[in-house]
Each structure stands twice: as C-alpha cells, then as structure tokens.
C-alpha cells in the first residue's frame, strides 16, 4: 500500500513500507478452496481456516477476515483494495489547475488580436480633415498652407513636430500646438497669434511697425495671409520715440496695454496716439477729436505745498497706489461718464489729468486755435477757462 501526500506548503512525501495486498483473483480462489474443504472435513477446515487467518494476520495488518461473513468480507476487502494508493492534496488554488493555463492562453490570444487589428487599422488610416483653431488675424488657408500637411500621407505618419516648426516660421504666430483626433481622423492646428497693441513709424524710412504685447517689433509689409490687413493697423500710434530705442517703445507698448485694461477697457477706443515729450511725460491724443490729454509720467509724485513738505505730510495710508495709476483710473471713469461727450461737442482745448484726484478740462474761447492743434502752451492757457470734472 502506498500513501502519497501533496501539499503546496510542504514537499511531496510517499510511504511505501506498508505490505502489499494480494490480488483479488487469488483471494477469490482461496475462498473457494476453503468452502470445498469445509464440506468434507469440518474440523480440518476450521483448523485450516484458523491457520489461514493467522497467515493473513501475519501478512497484512488488517483485522482477521474469518469473523465476518464471506459476502461482507469480500465487499469490504474489495472496497478497501481501492484505497491502495491514497493521495492527499491540500492545494486548492486555481493556479494549480488546468484552467489557469487555458485562461492565460485566452488572454494572450485576445491581446494579440487587438494588437493586430490596431496596427493594421492605424497603418491604413488617412487624414480626412484639417481644423484650425485660435486664429483671428491669419486666414485658415494661410495656416493650412504653412503646416504643409500632405493629404496622401497616412494619418499616423504625419510628423507633428515638423508641422509645429513650419507654423512657427510665421512672424505673427507666437505658438502652435498641432494634435490628432479620431472619428473622423483630423489634424487640429491650435494657433496663438501675437496681439498688436501699438504702431510705430520709423523716423528715417517712414515704414510702419507693429508692436505686440511682448514688445516684439513686426513689419506688416512682410506679413502674408491676413484676413483683414486694416485690422492689424487699428492700434494707437507711438510718437516721440525711435525704432532704435527698444526699451522706450516697449515701455510705451506696455503702458497702452495697461490703459486698455483699466475699467473694462474704457479707454481702449479713446487712445489714437500716445506721445512721449522730451521731459519723459506722456500725452494721449483721442482717436475721434485728436484732443490732447496730459497724463504725466509714471515717476510723478503727488503735488505737495511747501508747508506739507516741511511738515512731512504725504499720502494717506490707504493710498499705496502710484499717482500715475490712480489718475488713469479716474480718467477712465470720467471718460465714460462725461468727458467723451464733452469732447465730441467741441470747444475743448485740452484735458489735464496730472493733478491728484481731479481731471481738469480746459475750454477754448472763440477764435482760439482748433483742438487738434492745441498743445496747451503757456500763452494758450492764459486765454482759456478751466472746469473740473
């Protein structure tokens, strides 16, 4: 008899030192011989049965068979013979079954099918559409032409980095981000254009330049593919500055951008020209009437009398904002409320916004110079009347 014990936590163990059981045919034969002998010689048969039982006890550790009827003995003996090899296996994990192999093979087949389908699908996909987003100054036709995408090229063979490099060659494109989209297969061109804020005219050649928010100088005559060329030039003009003065015109461009953002862009349409004087102050000329508005310099300090300066008087603690910025905010509010209509009505020589907390409107007397030419010299100031807004 052999006992085999299998365990997932212990090594395989076998026990083979048990006596082997005789074959079933031989046992049946011996039982038949015992029946024949018992019919003719009962006493001898009982003795032989006892000796046979003793031999069986000697040969097998099982209990004596003579104490049971012949049928029960045979049934029990045959049923016990089926347990000659006992296998004890306490591993019940699915990993040790054949289903694990089948499941693993099925997963591999599914992944292989998906890869095959995807690779063949992508290799045969063509570019159906090209979409342009974010462009307002340049036309879509110009941007698609700059991208240089070959329609016959496969969808996933289009090199997006090369497309981006070709788009960035245009002086009016600040940044570009090409990408892909499916259903249908589309190449998307996201464009960020440079936003012009001012125009500068060369003092030597007379050529007009465009300045963007970052202070980059652009040449409109070299810019192609514009939707509306006149829209590019609808920005304030910078005067009193040369194109060679990079720091100067960049500072003026930032000033215009700041004024255009004050009070939800109240002054955006008001500024037709921004002029820098020789003293470094700035003057706004309105776009409709060309009336000058004196706004001073960012470095101006609030006016103080001699007594205030001697006593050390200054700004109130709440007035941490510069005088220049405070006056610009006040000018934007006055513009929407009243100043714009006053200038359209005519008769205004100039506007002075350099005094803290007030915007002074200077009116012209009859017969004085036109508002478009009034620069407010000392002789002209004497002949005008002032009004605080």
How far are the Cα atoms of 81, 124, 262 from residue 75, in angstroms, in the given order? Answer: 10, 74, 108
pLDDT at 21: 54
For the chain, what is the mean pLDDT?
A: 76
Which of residues 40 and 108 earns the better pLDDT score? Answer: 108
Every domain of the chain and the residues it spans: 2-89, 94-123, 129-192, 195-388
Structural contact between residues 227 and 136, judged by C-beta atoms closer than 8 angstroms: yes
- Identify the band that residue 24 occupies on the pLDDT scale cut at 50, 70 and 90: low
> If you average pLDDT over residues 194-204, what whole number do you get?
92
- Identify the band that residue 138 occupies on the pLDDT scale cut at 50, 70 and 90: very high
DSSP secondary structure of 81-121: HTTSEEEEE----GGGSHHHHHHHHHHHHHHHHHHHHHHHH
Which strands, in side-by-side order, build the sheet including 13-15? 13-15, 2-6, 85-89
How far apart are alpha carbons 265 and 271 in whole angstroms?
Answer: 11
Tokens of 73: 């003995």
How far apart are alpha carbons 357 and 368 in whole angstroms?
Answer: 28
- Convert 161-186 to b/e letters by CB count within 10 Å (16 or more is b): eebbebbeebbbbbebebeeeeeebe
Which of residues 54 and 244 earns the better pLDDT score? Answer: 244
Residue 250 has pLDDT above 90, yes or no: yes
How far apart are alpha carbons 31 and 45 in whole angstroms?
Answer: 12
Strands 196-201 and 237-239: parallel
pLDDT tens for 37-83 read 555 455 544 444 544 444 444 444 444 444 445 555 555 544 554 44
The yes/no answer on whether domain 129-192 falls in CATH 3.10.20 is yes
Which strands, in side-by-side order, build the sheet including 385-388? 217-218, 208-212, 196-201, 237-239, 271-276, 282-286, 292-296, 348-352, 360-363, 385-388
């Amino acid at each position: 008899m052999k006992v085999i014990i299998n365990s997932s936590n212990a090594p395989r163990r076998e026990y083979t030192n048990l006596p082997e059981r005789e074959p079933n045919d031989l046992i049946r034969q011996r039982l038949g011989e015992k029946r024949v002998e018992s019919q003719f010689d009962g006493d001898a048969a009982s003795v032989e049965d006892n000796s046979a039982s003793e031999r069986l006890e000697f040969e097998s550790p099982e209990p004596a068979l003579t104490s049971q009827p012949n049928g029960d003995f045979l049934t029990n003996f045959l049923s016990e013979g089926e347990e000659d090899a006992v296998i004890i296996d306490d591993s019940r994990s699915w990993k040790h079954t054949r289903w694990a192999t089948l499941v693993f093979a099925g997963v591999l087949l599914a992944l292989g099918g998906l890869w095959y389908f995807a690779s063949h699908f992508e290799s045969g996909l063509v570019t159906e559409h090209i979409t342009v987003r974010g462009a307002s100054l340049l036309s879509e036709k110009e941007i698609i032409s700059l991208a240089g995408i070959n329609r016959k090229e496969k969808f996933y063979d289009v090199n997006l980095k090369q497309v981006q490099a070709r788009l960035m060659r245009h002086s009016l494109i600040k940044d570009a981000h090409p990408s892909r989209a499916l259903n249908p297969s589309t190449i998307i061109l996201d464009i960020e254009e440079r936003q012009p804020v001012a125009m500068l005219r060369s003092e030597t050649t007379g050529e007009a330049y465009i300045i963007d928010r970052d202070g980059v100088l652009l040449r409109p005559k070299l810019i192609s593919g514009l939707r509306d060329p006149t829209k590019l030039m609808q920005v304030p003009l910078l005067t009193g500055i040369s194109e060679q003065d990079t720091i100067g015109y960049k500072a003026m461009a930032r000033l215009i951008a700041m004024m255009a953002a004050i009070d939800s862009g109240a002054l955006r349409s008001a500024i037709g020209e921004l002029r820098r004087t020789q003293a470094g102050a700035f003057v706004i000329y309105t776009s409709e009437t060309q009336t000058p508005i004196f706004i001073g310099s960012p470095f101006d300090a609030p006016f103080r009398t001699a007594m205030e300066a001697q006593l050390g008087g200054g700004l109130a603690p709440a007035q941490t904002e510069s005088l220049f910025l405070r006056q610009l905010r006040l000018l934007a509010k006055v513009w929407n409320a009243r100043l714009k209509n006053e200038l359209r009505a005519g008769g205004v020589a100039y506007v002075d916004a350099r005094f803290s907390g007030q915007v002074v409107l200077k009116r012209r007397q009859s017969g004085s110079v036109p508002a478009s030419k009034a620069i407010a010299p000392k002789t002209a100031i004497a002949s005008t009347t002032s009004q605080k807004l």
